[in-house]
Amino acid sequence: MKFKVVFTTAYDEFAIKSFEYNAFDYLLKPISADRFEKSMEKVINAIEKDQLRTEEKSIHSQIFIKDGDYCWLVKIADLELFEVDGNYTRVFFENHKPMIYKSLQKIIATLPSNEFFRANRQQVINIRKISKITPWFSGNLKVTMNNGKEIEISRRQANAFKELLSL
């Protein structure tokens, strides 16, 4: 874990010196509650971003999936699709479709962002598992996955998808 150092002192001439030591922030005494709160928010946001970056796995990593009595150790590259199903997320890989109790947002945070794409509010796809892309109604796109499943990419996401694939 990386530390975020916030210097505090009553002497403002030390402010510049503190940044020479990679200070994250600098608080001059007397410290107001508002300024302290803003500094702590900044620290918390930076730490959360760092954690998300370190949690993100590479395409060569493996993840453990458990559904009831069944367990799999699956390479991220083999994952085809994640689909919201109530409070659960269904994971598609090979001929399996287990359900996991994890939100799509948490799953996305741990996947390689250049390999997986949020097609719409309900689904995240592995772009390497797409076999066909078809223009669809109202500026949407439809992709057919290697497993034959068809996914509609929302109009909002279609431009980002085209940009990602340089279309």
Q: First-to-last CA distance in the chain?
A: 39
Q: What percent of the chain has pLDDT over 90?
A: 35
Architecture category of domain 62-164 in CATH: Beta Barrel (2.40)
Percentage of the chain lying above the pLDDT 70 cut: 92
Q: Provide CATH 2.40.50.1020 ranges for the chain.
A: 62-164
Query: Element (H or E) spanning 9, and its range?
Result: strand 6-9
Distance separating alpha carbons of residues 28 and 116, to the nearest angstrom: 44
User: Could you read off the pLDDT of 70-84 as tens digits, one per residue?
Assistant: 889 999 899 999 999
3-class SS at 147?
Answer: coil
Q: What are the tokens at 119?
A: 């097609």
Question: Band of the pLDDT at 68, cuts 50, 70, 90?
Answer: confident
Read off the pLDDT band of 96 (50, 70, 90): very high
Q: How far apart (Å, rounded) are the C-alpha atoms in residues 152 and 120?
A: 7
Better-predicted residue by pLDDT, 16 or 157: 157
Q: Residue 11 — pLDDT band, cuts 50, 70, 90?
A: confident
